[in-house]
Every structure is written in C-alpha cells, then in structure tokens.
Homo-oligomer: A and B are copies of this chain.
Amino acid sequence: MLDLALANLLSPIVLSFVLGLGAALARSDLAVPEAVAKGISIYLLFAIGFKGGASLAEHGIDLKLGLTLLMGVVLSFSLPLLGFALLRLLSGMSRTDAAAVAGHYGSISIVTFVAATTVLADAGLSSEGYMVAVAAAMEAPAILSALWLISRGSDQTEMSADLWREILLNGSIVLLLGAFVIGIATGAEGLSRIESFIVSPFQGVLCLFLLDMGLIAGRGLRKADVLDRGAIGFGVLMPLLGAGAGLLASLVVGLSAGGTMLLMTLSASASYIAVPAAMRVAVPQANPSIYLTLSLAVTFPFNLVLGLPIYLTVAKTVIGS
C-alpha cells in the first residue's frame, strides 16, 4: 500500500495539484481563467459520462444497477446526518454551519471520482460503467438532509420547487447524465469516433484541471483560519468514515473491486459545485468560507493524495481483484 501511495503521489496528476497548491501558497499570480476552468470541467464531465455510458452499452445492463443507484441515494441522504453529529462533537461551529458542511459530505466531488477512475485504470482494474450514474444520483439528496437539519434548528431556510428544479437540473448533473445516455446510445461505435478526443488526452487535461484545483485549494488554505482544529480533523476523518459506509453499501450490492473503490470514493468525497450553490440560495446565513475551505482545501487534497490509494487497497483486499 505504501508503494501504491508513493506511485500515486508521483503521478503527473497529483504533482500538478501540488504545483498549484504550492504556487497559491507562495502567492504566485499563476491563475487559470474562469472560462478555461469551466471549459475543462465541461470536457471532463462529458468525457467521463460518455465513457461510462459506452462501457455500460458494451458490458450490458447489470441487474445491480438499480440497487447501486438506490444505495447511492441512501448514502447521500444519510452521510450528512453522520457528518453533522461528528461535527457537533469535534468542532465549535454553529448548528447552521455544521449542517451546511455536513450536506457537502453527503454529496460528491466529480473530480475526485475522475481521479479515482485514472487510479483504477493504472491499477488495471475495470469497474461498472454505471458508477457515473450513481455519482449523479448522489449529488442532490444530501442537500435535502442538510436543509432538514437546519430547519430542525428552527433557523429560516428558503426551500422552493424552484430551487429544487435548479438543483436537479444544475449543469454538471445534466451534462454528466446526458453524456452517459449518449454513451449508451452510441456505444462502442460512438466511442471509437471521439476516442482521440475524450480518451487519449484525458489524463493530460486532468493535469491542468488539477493544477487549477491546487491553486484554489491553496488560496483556500490561506484563509484556513475560519476553521478550528476540530473542523480540520473532521475534514480528514469524515472521508474515511464515508468510504467505510460506501464499502458496506458496496458489499450489500456486490460490486466489483473497481466499483467498490469508486463507491467508496464517492462517499468519501465532498461537493464543491452543486451543494455550495444550493446553500447560498437556501441558507445564506451559513458561512461559505467554512464549507468551501473544508471541501476544497482539506478533504479534496486528502482524498487525492492519501484517500485514493487507501480506498483502492481496501477494495482490492476486501473484494479481491
């Protein structure tokens, strides 16, 4: 496992992240323009969705698909409750902030998922193509749990059908699922046509994206004084607990080692797109610096550098490859 951690640490992807992190901490003016970052993120979502769909089309629909989706939704709903309890225990932040943070950990980080698929590929493991759909299914339910936790505290939250539409139709869910469906519809033949766009250069593009994630995480760390020690501990402990829950869920369903690692990763990762946007609208009184810093500057790096090799080792050990 140490070997694996080291190999992971020395991958261009992780090193690109570290470069961005270092540059931001040293206050370099290195920056990726917003439009470019958004463009790359569209590319990644499209590619990962499409490849998932094409792989599903090739290997046939698995009977476990429905069950895994269900498990994903259950995880997304329940992990915030666990997170909330843990945060109240470890950190002194307000109920509202704690609930908002917890919501992020029930949802998922798609870049962490993408990084996990490249780690899997390097390890020569395959996984169920529909894990992409599971990722999409896990984005939103956690928001509901967070809002329920907040409303229990009788704090005001603004929740409307309108906001729900906004959450469920947010660009990244739509693009991921849409590309997934296109992948299913066009299958191996469709993939072969755009392979040299979405497969071959994928890891290189991911490097640039992780460079940017590093810059963002580094800028976040420079504001990390909004986090008390308990909160930082949470940012490291929660992914491990989440991954554990993901492992259990995977055992119930009976996923492959690759699929298990991906479900652990999804459970371990914290949202930085869908959930923050929903929180800003529904719970403006929650401090965005807290949840964004925890998610982007603590948990994301932890998962990328240490989490992924851990989840892979555990998955391989428990499931066998």
Interface residues of A (CB under 8 A from B): 10-12, 15-16, 19, 22-23, 26-36, 38-39, 42-43, 46, 50, 165-166, 169-171, 174-175, 178-179, 181-182, 185-186, 190, 193-194, 196-198, 200-205, 207-208, 211
A190 B11 Cβ-Cβ under 8 A: yes
Complex Cα distance, B34 from A38, in Å, reads 11
Residues from chain B with a CB closer than 8 A to the CB of A43 are: 208
Shortest CB–CB separation between residue A133 and chain B, in angstroms? 15
The count of identical subunits is 3
B32 A42 Cβ-Cβ under 8 A: yes
B178 A22 Cβ-Cβ under 8 A: yes
Contacts A12-B50, A186-B15, A203-B194 known; A33 to B23 CB distance under 8 Å? no
Residues from chain B with a CB closer than 8 A to the CB of A170 are: 28-30
B12 A211 Cβ-Cβ under 8 A: no
Complex Cα distance, B23 from A165, in Å, reads 12
Complex Cα distance, B19 from A178, in Å, reads 6
Complex Cα distance, B174 from A36, in Å, reads 19
The 7 A-B residue pairs whose C-beta atoms are closest, nearest first, are A197-B204, A30-B171, A194-B204, A196-B200, A36-B39, A33-B35, A35-B35
